[in-house]
Amino acid sequence: MELNIACIPGDGIGPEIVAEARKVLEKVAKVYGHRMNFTDILMGGASIDVHGVPLTDEAVAAAKAADAVLMGSIGGNTTTSPWYKLPPEKRPEAGLLGIRKALNLFANLRPAVLYDELATACPLKEEISRAGFDIMIMRELTGGLYFGERKTYEENGLRTAVDTLVYNENEIRRIAVKGFDIARKRRKKVTSVDKANVLDSSRLWRKVVEEVAADYPDVTLEHMLVDNCAMQLVRDPAQFDVILTENMFGDILSDEASMVTGSIGMLASASLNDTRFGLYEPSHGSAPDIAGMDVANPIATVLSASMMLRYSFDLDREADAVDAAVKQVLKDGYRTGDILSEGCTKVGCSRMGDLLAERIQ
Ligand code: IPM
Ligand code: MG
């Protein structure tokens, strides 16, 4: 099969972790007989430095022309980087939001899995973590507070700012359908998370999710308020299968879920539209403080590449091989600094990539 993959290395540790994911993908291509064509796209700070803006029309066109996009991370140190002296719409993050919108990537899948090998890195009490967990957070990605009208103004000398949270039923329905479809392939439970005791947008969310649920009698639906969900994630994460939620709640809950897995350096993500196209990126940020030091953990990016093989190319066997390589490398005792524990061998980013590629069979 011929796979056209656009890479957005981005900023900070982005270029290093994408290079390792590419190494693993190239090994997959070799072992399974595929042809992979890679092109590079500038986005975020890297694009600001060259073009003065975080996302150009050409970059969007190049992403659209590919079958899938593999991204590292974007952004810099928000207090020291000159990028953050620019107006908000010209900062690195605006590039990411821009490409999500331009490619209509409304469904963001963020799996949070506790690996047996990393159980000691889990910050929860042993009696809680013992049960393990495997959660799929489905975050709506192109609506809500992130894309509603916003402004800052002065009224009678009082500085005032407003952000608007808007959802229409179509936006809710399409992410709910994806959530139920994915739950059907897993443990068949959807927890829809909202703030229906306060927000109108959440009350509509709940109604539409219930309408969608009617088409999935084999999937159990429960509703949970977002504050309770934040608490349940640390009290009993094993209760969750698919968490379905809006943009802002999903942003916050996915960071929390990643931390309970032991390291944010392990968490992959996929952002999908209603075709097979997707943008795949680690859930973590650009970690500018460790950029260029060859110490970053490339596993989240490698697992994102695995999601790409699975969701954009339907290559389940190849994706399974990548996931198995990650498990094996952990079993063999290799760790980057963020997940290091006693008795393990500490390796850098590039060596970790080599070890993973070696284990692709
Ligand atoms: C994420 C990030 C982004 C978001 C930022 C960088 C704009 O936190 O992907 O979770 O809030 O969506
Ligand atoms: Mg976030």
- Ligand 1 nearest-atom number relative to CA 281: 9
Nearest CA to ligand 1 atom 6: 93
Q: Is the pLDDT of residue 121 over 90?
A: no
In a domain, 118, yes or no: no
Residue 255 falls in the annotated catalytic set? yes
Residues 134 and 246 in one domain: yes
User: Does residue 117 belong to any structural domain of this protein?
Assistant: no
Question: Average pLDDT of 198-202?
Answer: 98
- Structural domain contains residue 266: no
- Element holding 66 (H helix, E strand): none
332: in domain? yes
pLDDT at 318: 98
- Domain-located, residue 29: yes
Residue 264 pLDDT class (50, 70, 90 cuts)? confident
In terms of domains, do 100 and 211 share one? no
Residue nearest to atom 12 of ligand 1 (CA): 251
- Give residue 120's pLDDT band: very low, low, confident or very high (50, 70, 90): confident
Residue 114, in any domain of the structure: no
Are 176 and 280 in contact, with CB atoms under 8 Å apart? no
Mean pLDDT, residues 111-131: 90
**CA-nearest residue, atom 11 of ligand 1:** 251
- pLDDT of 30-54, one tens digit each? 999 999 999 999 999 999 999 999 9
Task: Report the number of distinct structural domains present in the chain.
Answer: 2
In this structure, what token pair is assigned to residue 341? 């524990």
Two tokens, residue 281: 């990126």
Residue 268 domain-assigned (yes or no): no
Mean pLDDT across 251-272: 92
Once rounded to an integer, what is the mean pLDDT over residues 83-110? 96
242 and 299 in a common domain: no
Q: Domain check: are 309 and 183 in the same one?
A: no
Same domain, 157 and 232: yes
pLDDT band for 262, please (50, 70, 90 cuts).
confident
Query: Are 127 and 255 contained in the same domain?
Result: yes
Alpha carbon distance 225, 350 (integer Å): 42
Task: Please indicate, yes or no, whether residues 170 and 64 belong to a single structural domain of this protein.
Answer: no
Q: Is 45 exposed, middle or buried (0-12, 13-18, 19+ CB in 10 A)?
A: buried
Whether residue 71 sits in one domain with residue 30: yes
pLDDT tens, 285-338? 999 999 999 999 999 999 999 999 999 999 999 999 999 999 999 999 999 999
- The Cβ of residue 316 has, within 10 Å, a number of other Cβ atoms equal to 11
User: Could you say which of 261, 291, 306 is where a domain stops?
Assistant: 261
Q: Is 299 helix (H, G, I), strand (E, B) or coil?
A: helix
pLDDT one-digit tens code per residue, 152-188: 999 999 999 999 999 999 999 999 999 999 999 999 9
| Cα 325 to Cα 302: distance, rounded to the nearest angstrom | 10
Nearest-atom number in ligand 1 for the CA of 254 is: 10
* The domain boundary residue, chosen from 212, 233, 261: 261
Q: CA distances (Å), 133 to each of 36, 122, 189, 260, 261, in order?
A: 34, 11, 14, 10, 9
C-alpha 27 to ligand 1 mean position (Å):
30
Q: How much distance in Å is there from the Cα of 148 to the middle of ligand 2? A: 18
101 in active site: no
Residues with CB under 5 A from ligand 2 (ion): 251
Question: In this structure, what is the dihedral angle of CA atoms 292, 298, 301, 306, given to the nearest 10 degrees?
Answer: 150
Annotation says 116 is catalytic: no
Domain CATH number, residue 147: 3.40.718.10
Cβ-contact 266, 299 below 8 angstroms: yes
Q: Are residues 104 and 163 in the same domain?
A: no
Portion of the chain with pLDDT greater than 90, in percent: 93
pLDDT in tens, 77-94: 999 999 999 999 999 999
Last residue of a domain, one of 230, 261, 292: 261
234 and 280 together in one domain: no
227 is catalytic: yes
Residues 253 and 129 in one domain: yes
Is residue 115 assigned to a domain?
no
57 is an active site residue: no
Catalytic residue among 163, 215, 227, 274: 227
Structural domain including 15 reads 1-109+274-361
Any idea of the CA torsion for 35, 39, 43, 48, to the nearest 10 degrees?
160
